[in-house]
Amino acid sequence: MPKLQIEGFGTFAVGHGQRLVRAIETNGVDILHRCGGYARCTTCRVAFSAGEPPTMTVAERDKLDEKGLIGQVRLSCQIVCDNDMALRPLMTLSESGLPDPGPTPHDTVTPEPAWVSLPET
């Protein structure tokens, strides 16, 4: 099982292929996911220190490009756990002042993923 190291929270064994945003939340981090995992809000953003996946979904690429965030953050709703990772969640419910983290993301990546290589930065 892949190991997920979440800065400030610990290291956890996660299900192979589990959606990253769900794995983070399941292990006690109140990460935001305001759009419900559809690559629209960017509140599920994380910063990788190790194990960043070499591919991303077209939906993630387009949203990060639109926001000028390519090369800075990744969207945890658009990533599956298939290798060891170390990261820092960047937007949490407790720090946001919002009433809830957003709709629960599906178990699988939405919208239907099309995978591409990381863009040049």
Task: Give me the residues that bind ligand FES (CB under 6 A), please.
Answer: 33-35, 37, 39-44, 75, 77
First to last CA, the chain: 31
Write down the least CB distance from residue 1 to ligand FES, Å. 23
Specify the residue, 1 or 106, whose C-beta has the smaller distance to ligand FES: 106
113 closest CA partner among 35, 57, 75, 62: 57
Specify the residue, 14 or 20, whose C-beta has the smaller distance to ligand FES: 20
* Nearest-CB residue for ligand FES: 77
Alpha carbons 43 and 34: distance in angstroms, whole number: 6
Specify the residue, 36 or 51, whose C-beta has the smaller distance to ligand FES: 36
Write down the least CB distance from residue 84 to ligand FES, Å. 22
3-state secondary structure of 63: helix
Give the H/E segment covering residue 95. helix 93-96
Write down the least CB distance from residue 34 to ligand FES, Å. 6
Side-chain-facing half-sphere of 77: CA atoms under 13 Å: 30
